[in-house]
């Protein structure tokens, strides 16, 4: 309690308080929930160029009416193509060789992730865009994914699944690129996730390049955009003949 009281005195809880004191639900928002993803993947110094494999798979569920993170999924992933992490990768991400050696491969990770999706769908009455035509429950809350840039879902997961012939959930084929949304809404180019938060007077919480901490901070940024009046819309889809434009 003392920490929350101090935060209020310092003005750090201002945006959250402002949003909760308004309409109770985010005005004009299409999505009642957002699932924020930020993968960490194998990487090397500039002299070495190899295809990345996911080694940390986090997801956080953000309620767009309250700004609360209501559920989290997190697991480390065992790389198969290049199982030994580079020193560069370990230093950047903080992930150890032992953590990935004891982790599950990507196909098991995706299965576990899908079970988590089904669990929150039941508990929160969440649906995705593909469910809308056949779903008649008026209490259902629409949900989509959020990433910082298109790399996580449009490049990293997409091509790794193709190389390994893995089936990923179709709901991962569309998402909100929060970096592009931020640039359009505030009319300025952010210097990374941490820079975007800093520009808005928000301190990055945790360790940069920790997938889970990056996901949580991206969720905090999404909440700030909502508080500032941005209506979040899907910006990218891998489905054919679908084109999304930022407002």
Q: List, by residue number, the catalytic residues.
A: 40, 209
CA–CA gap between residue 157 and residue 22 (Å, rounded): 38
Place of tokens 């988590």: 116
Phi-psi region of 203 (alpha: psi -120 to 50; beta: other; left: phi over 0): beta
Place of tokens 């986090």: 58
Q: Decide: 77 and 57 in contact? Cβ < 8 Å.
A: yes
Three-state DSSP class for residue 37: strand
Q: Decide: 34 and 176 in contact? Cβ < 8 Å.
A: yes
Helical segments of the chain, H only: 2-10, 14-20, 87-93, 97-101, 106-124, 157-164, 178-186, 192-199, 211-227
């Amino acid at each position: 309690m003392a920490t929350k009281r101090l935060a209020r005195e310092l003005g750090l809880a201002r945006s959250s308080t402002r949003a909760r004191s308004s309409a109770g639900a985010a005005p004009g928002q299409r999505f009642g929930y957002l699932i924020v993803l930020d993968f960490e993947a194998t990487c090397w110094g500039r002299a070495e160029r190899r295809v990345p494999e996911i080694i940390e798979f986090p997801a956080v569920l953000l309620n767009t009416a309250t700004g609360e993170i209501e559920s989290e999924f997190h697991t480390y992933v065992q790389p198969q193509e290049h199982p030994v992490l580079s020193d560069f990768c370990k230093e950047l991400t903080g992930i150890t060789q032992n953590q990935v050696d004891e982790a599950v491969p990507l196909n098991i990770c995706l299965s576990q992730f899908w079970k988590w999706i089904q669990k929150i769908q039941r508990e929160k009455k969440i649906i995705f865009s593909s469910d809308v035509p056949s779903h008649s429950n008026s209490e259902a809350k629409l949900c989509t994914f959020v990433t910082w840039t298109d790399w996580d879902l449009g490049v990293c997961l997409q091509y790794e699944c193709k190389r390994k012939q893995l089936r990923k959930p179709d709901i991962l084929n569309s998402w909100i690129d929060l970096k592009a949304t931020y640039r359009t809404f505030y009319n300025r180019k952010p210097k990374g996730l941490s820079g975007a938060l800093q520009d808005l007077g928000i301190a990055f919480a945790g360790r940069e390049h920790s997938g889970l901490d990056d996901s949580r901070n991206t969720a905090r940024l999404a909440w700030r955009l909502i508080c500032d009046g941005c209506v979040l819309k899907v910006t990218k889809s891998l489905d054919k003949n679908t084109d999304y434009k930022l407002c």
